[in-house]
Amino acid sequence: MEQYAVEAAILKVYGSETLDYVTDEGVQIYGGMGYSSDAPMDRAYRDSRINRIFEGTNEINRMLAVDMMLKKAMKGDLDLMGPATAVANELLQIPDMSNGSDELFAAEKKTIANFKKAVLMVAGSAVQKLMMELAKEQEVLMNIADMLIDLYVAESLQLRIEKLAGMRGEAGCTEEIDMMRVFLYDAAERINKAGKDAINSYTSGDEQRMLLMGLKRFTKVAPVNVKESRRRIAAKLITENKYCY
C-alpha cells in the first residue's frame, strides 16, 4: 500500500471533490426542492461532504502527496531532478510543434506529456529554489498537488479511453472521447493557473519570465468546442434516462 501512497492521496482528494461537485449539482437540479429533505439530495449532500474531512482532510492529503513524492525523490526511488533538468534545458530550444505521430490519440498523449513537463518544471524549480524551505511553503505544495492531481486524472482517463476504443472502436465511444477532450481542455487552464501561482511566489525577473513561458508552452491545447461536446455527453444520458457511462 505504501508503494501507492501518493496515488491513494490523489484519488482520495479527486474522488471526494468530484463527489461533492456531483452532489451539489444534484441539489441544484432539484431547485428549491433540492434543499428540502422531501427530495433525495439533502442526505447525499451531507453524506458526501464528510469525504473531504475524514481519512485525512483534503488539505493534508494534498500536502502529503507532494511531500511523499519529494521524499521518494530524495531517497533515490524516483528521479525527479533528472527529468526536471531535461525540461529546463528544453526551454532553451525551439518548441516542438508536431503532434508526435498519427497514432490514435497522439494529440492527447502529447498534451499529457506536456502536462508532465509542466509539473516537473514547477516541482523541480520549487525544490531548487526553496530547498528545505519548501516544506513551510504550503501554498506552493498545494499548487503542485493540484497540478499533480490533474495530470494523474488526465493520464488515467486517456489510458481508459484508449482501452475502451480498443474494445469498441473509436465510433463506439464518441461521448467518452468527448469527456477526455473536455477534461484535457479544462485541466490545461487549471494546471496553468496553479503553476503560475507557484512560479510567481518564488521567482522574479528573467527566471520568472522563462518559467512562465515554459508553462504556457506546456499547457497549450488545441481549441475544443466544449459546448457541443457537453451536449453530446448529456444527450446520451437524456436518451437513456440513466447513468450510461
Ligand X SMILES: Cc1cc2nc3c(=O)[nH]c(=O)nc-3n(C[C@H](O)[C@H](O)[C@H](O)COP(=O)(O)OP(=O)(O)OC[C@H]3O[C@@H](n4cnc5c(N)ncnc54)[C@H](O)[C@@H]3O)c2cc1C
Stretch that binds ligand X, among 56-64, 81-89, 100-108, 209-217 (CB under 6 A): 56-64
Report how far apart the first and last C-alpha atoms of the chain are (Å, whole number). Answer: 29
Of 56, 57, 37, 55, the closest CA to residue 45 belongs to 37
CA distance 35 to 101: 51
Stretch that binds ligand X, among 53-61, 175-183, 212-220, 230-238 (CB under 6 A): 53-61
> Rule CB under 6 A: is residue 136 a binding residue for ligand X?
no
Q: Which of 60, 86, 113, 237 binds ligand X (CB under 6 A)?
A: 60
Q: How far is the CB of 182 from ligand X (least distance, A)?
A: 29
Of 148, 151, 63, the closest CA to residue 112 belongs to 151
CA distance 208 to 15: 33
Contact in structure between 197 and 125 (CB atoms under 8 Å): no
Instruction: Give 53 or 106: the residue with its C-beta nearer to ligand X.
Output: 53
Q: How far is the CB of 137 from ligand X (least distance, A)?
A: 12
Contact in structure between 41 and 30 (CB atoms under 8 Å): yes
CA distance 242 to 245: 9
240 in active site: no
> Rule CB under 6 A: is residue 51 a binding residue for ligand X?
no
Stretch that binds ligand X, among 9-17, 31-39, 49-57, 99-107 (CB under 6 A): 49-57
Using CB under 6 A as the binding criterion, the count of chain residues that bind ligand X stands at 7
Contact in structure between 107 and 129 (CB atoms under 8 Å): no
- Which three cell numbers mark 78? 524516483
Contact in structure between 183 and 150 (CB atoms under 8 Å): no
Q: How far is the CB of 56 from ligand X (least distance, A)?
A: 6
Stretch that binds ligand X, among 57-65, 92-100, 176-184, 226-234 (CB under 6 A): 57-65
Instruction: Give 139 or 207: the residue with its C-beta nearer to ligand X.
Output: 139
> Rule CB under 6 A: is residue 43 a binding residue for ligand X?
no
In degrees rounded to 5, what are phi and psi of residue 241? 55, 35
The active-site residue, picked from 17, 55, 59, 170, is: 55
Q: How far is the CB of 45 from ligand X (least distance, A)?
A: 14
Q: Which of 2, 3, 37, 54 binds ligand X (CB under 6 A)?
A: 54
> Rule CB under 6 A: is residue 138 a binding residue for ligand X?
yes
145, containing H or E segment: helix 138-168
User: What are the residue numbers of the active site?
Assistant: 55
| Interface residue list for ligand X (CB under 6 A) | 50, 53-54, 57, 59-60, 138
